[in-house]
Every structure is written in C-alpha cells, then in structure tokens.
Structure 1
C-alpha cells in the first residue's frame, strides 16, 4: 500500500528525517576524522535512507539521486523524485559548524 501522506508532507517528513540521520552521522564521527570521510559518510547515509524510505512510501515512483547510479527506467516512469541527499557537503564536514 502506498503511504497515505501527500507528496508535500512526505517530502517534508523525509527532509526532516534525513536531517536527523545526518546529525547522527556527524555526532558519531570521530572528532579527529578526515572531513572528506565525513562528507562521504553523510552523502551515503542520507542517500541510503532516502532511497529506502521512498521505495517504501512510493514504490511505483522512480528516483534520481545525485549520489546514486542513474536508473534509466526513470525516463519512462510516470513520476520521478529528484534527490540531493546532502546539499552543502563541504559545510557539513566543517567542524565545529553547527548550522
């Protein structure tokens, strides 16, 4: 069964939840860790979360993600979600930024 939320509500919820995933990744990352590794962990973690959540909520929809392999099935899909799992990767990896 498709998730009953409107697309707008689903997008808002997923954005908030992906933000929580990113905060968890950043909080668990070693303080002396390499910024490039933090960027990669954030991109991957948010991407994986959003792909799984969209597959559950809107299984018939295609997804084009900046961090994922392009699935050309999106070209013939009725609906496509376009996702940037972590906009601002550089800023995400700059500690002690908290914005």
Structure 2
C-alpha cells in the first residue's frame, strides 16, 4: 500500500491488523455483535488488535458465519484472525485482505 495521510479514521498503510474473535455465548434474536474499538486510528506500520464480541446469547449458540469488510481497502486490510479455543471446524477465507469470512461451530455444546 502507498503512504497516505495517517490521520484518517482507519489509518492508511496498516502493517498488521489482527482480529481476535471472542464469542463466549450463543447467538439469539436481539443480540448485538460489534467491535470493541470502532473508528480506531492507527499510524502506518503500527499493529493493533480489535476484538469482535457478541453481547449475549440467552438461547445458546451452535455456530457462526461472519463476513468482515474494510470499507476502503487502500487504507488497511485484515491480516490475521484468531479464534477462541472452542471454535470447531473453523473456516477462514480472504486473509490477508479487505474482505474476510470466518465460520466455526461449537462442537462441545
């Protein structure tokens, strides 16, 4: 990526952006999934971790399929994905890149 203004909402020329997926409970109607640091600013070459979390799953959880997209690929990309230990049969596509698919199931429940 070329060097651009580093003070954009999602800094340009990110060296590494790691998404850690920590979902402890299951998906249910009305549940909210979100990033713990929306609108982050990262200087070129810096490394940052952004967690994607599920707020609640009162009816349980059996698996998930998530698509994460970087709105402007010229300013950054997803470089790595880390899944929780319980995530069975994981499928991660598009890494590194601006659009990443993540899927897994809970084999223990």
Higher helix share: 1
TM-score (norm 2): 0.27
TM-score (norm 1): 0.29
Higher strand share: 2
